[in-house]
Amino acid sequence: MLFTDLNGDQARQMIDTEQVFAAYAAARTELDHRYAGSMAWKTVGSHTYLYRKRQGVWKSLGARSSATEEIHSGFHQGRERVQDRITNLAARLDEMAPVNRALRIGRMPIIAARVLRRLTEARLYGPVVGVVGTNALYAYERLGGVQIAGPQLATGDIDLLYDARKSLRLVAPEAAAGGLLAELQKVDRSFTAVGNPGFRAVNRDGYLVDLIMPAGTDPIRRPPRNRIGSAADDLQAVEIEGLGWLVNSPKTAVTAIDARGYPVQMWVIDPRAFALHKAWLSTRGDRDPLKRSRDAAQADLVASLVRTRLPRLRFDDPALNALPRALRDLADTIGRPQASETTAVKRSEPDW
């Protein structure tokens, strides 16, 4: 079996966890935006003014009056309410985690989930980098309401697809200075870059984080930016052919559950684009034979998942027009049940 459906208890618990996590994430966003910085009274000469501090800069909101006093009290009371809500929701997620483990819906490796949470905190995950490769299967199984067979999920690394078109100074100004390696070291201080410069980081347990990006259209010219941070030792994305199709494919946000039972938001490419890209990789003669075999298996798995659990996602959808026609034509070759799979086997005894 490539995958199995979630049972009723698992499905209910998954939905409940997602709802609490969504409320928690919304509260954190409200705190970080609406109540960012601080607000205080300052006396200048003989007058008192209300000041708001954001990103290290103080700005006057006006002289003390009934209106500014209302703004001051509303800010502090509102922030306290949001902080209380965050505390309560965090405790709720702590309570749900062991239940998630007991129901076996915690699937994603812990280190991978922690890396993605850190990148989300740094505002890199989603707009700047996304997950491709085997780890994306944790999102696709949630989309289909199934659990994928263990061997298909086994991996000791995570591939981060870098979209260099985004303005880091606008999207993630702090990460633009520190870089990806600095963010990884906030998760695990043992992460170090392999090579100088290198596209890969590894921790003391051998877990790998690869930074990859689409190959340029001109093989001679170097890309305008192939690293996230300005630090000399930061990871430098390696260019790989075919990734431009993925960068331009539709994206979706999905909540996965890690092995400790805690949720993590994932940004992944459309499962149809994933399956077609894997099918294309499996035909390349310059690719490692073992990887080609795994690529073909994952292409069939995800295409089968789309056809049987996500019929609304059609392979002839115009949304996939960013992919070359030859790539889209591969849809007819993947995810189709073989004759032996569709014929029921009659048994005269239980499957002992």
- pLDDT score for 343: 41
Encode the chain (352 residues) as per-residue pLDDT tens digits: 688 999 999 999 999 999 999 999 999 999 988 998 899 999 988 899 999 998 789 999 999 999 999 999 999 999 999 999 999 999 999 999 999 999 999 999 999 999 999 999 988 888 888 999 999 999 999 999 999 988 888 889 999 999 887 666 556 666 667 789 999 999 999 999 998 778 999 999 999 999 999 987 665 566 567 888 778 888 999 999 889 889 889 999 999 999 999 999 999 999 999 999 999 999 998 999 989 999 999 999 999 999 999 999 999 999 999 899 999 999 999 987 654 343 444 556 665 5
**Cα radius of gyration rounded to whole Å, the chain:** 24
Span between the terminal Cα atoms of the chain, in Å: 17
3-state class (DSSP) for residue 267: strand
Place of tokens 């966003």: 29
Q: Token pair of 155, please?
A: 């991996």
Q: Is residue 335 classed exposed, middle or buried when 0-12, 13-18 and 19+ CB atoms within 10 A define those classes?
A: buried
Helices (H) and strands (E) in the chain, counts: 13, 13
Return all residues near 276 (Cβ < 8 A) that are at least 6 apart: 299, 315, 320, 323, 327, 328, 330, 331, 334
Return all residues near 242 (Cβ < 8 A) that are at least 6 apart: 214, 215, 277, 280, 281
- pLDDT score for 339: 43
Ranges assigned E (strand) in the chain: 3-5, 38-44, 47-54, 57-63, 129-132, 146-148, 157-162, 192-194, 200-202, 208-214, 238-240, 251-257, 263-269
Mapping DSSP onto H, E and C, the string for 128-157 reads CEEEECHHHHHHHHHHHCEEECHHHHCCCE
- pLDDT score for 54: 87
Would the pTM count as exceeding 0.85? yes
CA distance 172 to 211: 17
- pLDDT score for 169: 59
